[in-house]
Amino acid sequence: MKKILLVNPYETTQSGFTNPPLGLLYIAGTLIKNGFEVRLVDGCIEGKEAVKKAIEDFQPHFVGITSYTPGRLKAIEIAGMAKSFDPGIKVILGGAHPTIMHRQIMENYPSVDYIVIGEGEVSCLEIIQGKNPAGIHGIVYRDSEGIIKTPNRTYVADLDTVPFPAWHLVDYTRYPSIDRGVYNGINLRQVPRVSIIFSRGCTGHCDFCSTWWIWKGWRHRSPVNMADEIELLYTDFGIRHFCFADDALTINREATIGLCDEIINRKLKIAFHATTRTDCVDEVILAKLKEAGCYKIAYGIETASPKLLENMGKENDIGTSERAITLTKKAGIIVTALIIVGSVGETPETVQETVNFLKRTKPDEVGSVGGLWILPGTKLYRESKKIGFIDDNYWLKNEPFKIYTVEYSREQLDKFNRQVYGYRNIFSRIIKRLRKRIS
């Protein structure tokens, strides 16, 4: 029996925490269903030595590694680690970064044997089953003629047919939550938090995001199928705290309400938070989400400047965002406003527009990564290359990502960020009110 080791790279946590590697768990679920022996090591939690030891002890035939852009070089390091132990191990790389930068990786890193483009369950399975790579859609490989990219794979239309993630492969106690408070009798800080996903893709076309480019649309599971997985985690593993990893959970109103009804009718006493678009909520959806266990929603506001929203292709308006925040708070759900400071065309005046918006709407939390990240596969990246601010060779360097500083320096961006975060300090007393709201 072929043995497959799946690896989440080490030293790739964000803000000091991490979630179970959901993509790898989905791959594992498909492989196990088809009779393969699979192990998973989460380097984020277990560290570099644990990854090395897993390779040596398990002696896999294949090593599958996931890679986002900031952690791409750690993924390559693990590929080299596997080859150093046994050159016969076949290394498969997947995830957002190799999906987009596949040719660069194959040209520069001979330790990688295959790259899976986009949705990976079927492509990985067919590689491991030993099918002729020329007949496997959605992969990149090498042969005597060089680097070969096969035709794109048609994504799974019915997500209910995808096996559940192999949840038994992870130790949940090692994934604490960063949220605090008590909801539905669940102390959020004292129980593990598990990521789940109801849909794949996004309907937006923001210039800083590659999600639409990778997924080519949006699909969702049936409410029954999603609730079945939640109930499995609830009953068999004792999980009570969930994070929906969807880019926008509530795009389909009927499906969202149906999922909430399934959770409510099954009497699953859970707590969860989600991310969605401000134009995809209303009073009914929010009431249902609250009843089903939703305690927090993050909205991608980005900026309160209509001009900047148009520039970045946000396809939303400030009035809609203001209404969504108001309705969400009215429903008793915590609101996080996700903000990008330093977008193309940002000025002190547009920053002040955002600050005024935050003061006016009073979201409970403000989230920002400190600037506008330039990532491959985005319109922003293509435009930045045109003006010579970045080129593809950047991704061969050690820097995890690049901040857009064409118009303002990092120091000036930090000043803008302090203005935005000054709002949060002004309303720090809200934190005390949160304790009461989610009790």
Confidence of residue 424 (pLDDT cuts 50, 70, 90): low
Whole-number pLDDT of residue 217: 82
Residue 438 has pLDDT above 60, yes or no: no
- Which pair of tokens denotes residue 11? 């030293």
Number of residues assigned to the chain:
439
Q: What is the pLDDT of residues 53-73, one digit of tens each?
A: 999 999 999 999 999 999 999
Query: Residue 148 forms beta bridges with which residues?
Result: 141
Q: Strands 62-66 and 3-8: what pairing?
A: parallel
Q: What is the pLDDT of residues 231-246, one digit of tens each?
A: 999 999 999 999 999 9
Whole-number pLDDT of residue 434: 39
306-330 b/e (C-beta count within 10 Å ≥ 16 → b) = eebbeebbbebebeebbbbbebbbe
Q: What is the pLDDT of residues 361-375, one digit of tens each?
A: 999 999 888 899 999
Backbone phi, then psi, for 408, in 5-degree steps?
-140, 145
Residue 425 has pLDDT above 80, yes or no: no
Distance CA 143, CA 278 (A): 48
Whole-number pLDDT of residue 423: 61
**Beta strand extents in 286-399 (DSSP E only):** 294-302, 334-339, 365-367, 373-374
Confidence of residue 354 (pLDDT cuts 50, 70, 90): very high
Whole-number pLDDT of residue 204: 84
Maximum CA extent, the chain: 66
Residue 16 has pLDDT above 80, yes or no: no
| Rounded average pLDDT over 406-410 | 93
Whole-number pLDDT of residue 421: 79
Share the mean pLDDT of the chain: 92
| Rounded average pLDDT over 270-284 | 96
| Rounded average pLDDT over 41-52 | 95
Q: Which residue in this structure is represented by tokens 């970064």?
A: 97
Whole-number pLDDT of residue 152: 93
Cα–chain-centroid distance for residue 25? 14
